[in-house]
């Protein structure tokens, strides 16, 4: 028995993301968790699961999954951006600032990160 090929994993991840986008959070979470059993370092699955957890109010688990996503793919701009936005939403502004700075290191002049950091500077 194989663990599934990369194309199959990507297709399952797309399906899980679609479930998330349709508001079927329980189903999406199960699918992301199944993907992670097969591919524990799948950054998009960690990101998707982290967003699902955030949407249903499981914030500690959300942050854990989002952090794992960027650990799996340290140069992934979207991973850092989603982690930064989640920190900001939870009022964890120092952590958010660090992640928005990281986005700008990876993608100088990223419009959303630039806008968010200007907002934080106005707060100080």
Residue 122 lies in a domain: yes
Range of the domain at 90: 75-124
Same domain, 40 and 83: no
Q: What is the pLDDT of residues 69-119, one digit of tens each?
A: 999 999 999 999 999 999 999 999 999 999 999 999 999 999 999 999 998
Residue 69 lies in a domain: no
Residue 67 lies in a domain: no
Mapping DSSP onto H, E and C, the string for the chain reads: CCCCCHHHHHHHHHHHHHHHHCCCHHHHHHHHHHHHHHCCCCHHHHHHHHHHHHHCCCHHHHHHHHHHHHHHCCCCHHHHHHHHHHHHHCCCHHHHHHHHHHHHHHCCCCHHHHHHHHHHHHHC
pTM over 0.95: no
Report how many domains make up the chain: 2
Residue 68 lies in a domain: no
Residue 64 lies in a domain: no
Q: What is the pLDDT of residues 52-75, one digit of tens each?
A: 999 999 999 999 999 999 999 999
């Amino acid at each position: 028995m194989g663990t599934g090929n990369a194309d199959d994993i990507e297709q399952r991840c797309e399906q899980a993301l679609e479930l998330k986008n349709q508001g079927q959070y329980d189903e999406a979470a199960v699918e992301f968790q199944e993907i992670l059993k097969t591919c524990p370092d799948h950054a998009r699955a960690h990101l998707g699961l982290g967003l699902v957890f955030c949407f249903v109010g499981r914030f500690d688990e959300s942050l854990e999954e989002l952090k794992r996503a960027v650990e799996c793919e340290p140069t992934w701009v979207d991973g850092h951006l989603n982690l930064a936005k989640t920190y900001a939403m939870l009022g964890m502004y120092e952590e958010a600032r660090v992640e928005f700075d990281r986005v700008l290191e990876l993608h100088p002049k990223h419009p959303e990160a630039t806008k968010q950091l200007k907002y934080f500077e106005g707060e100080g």
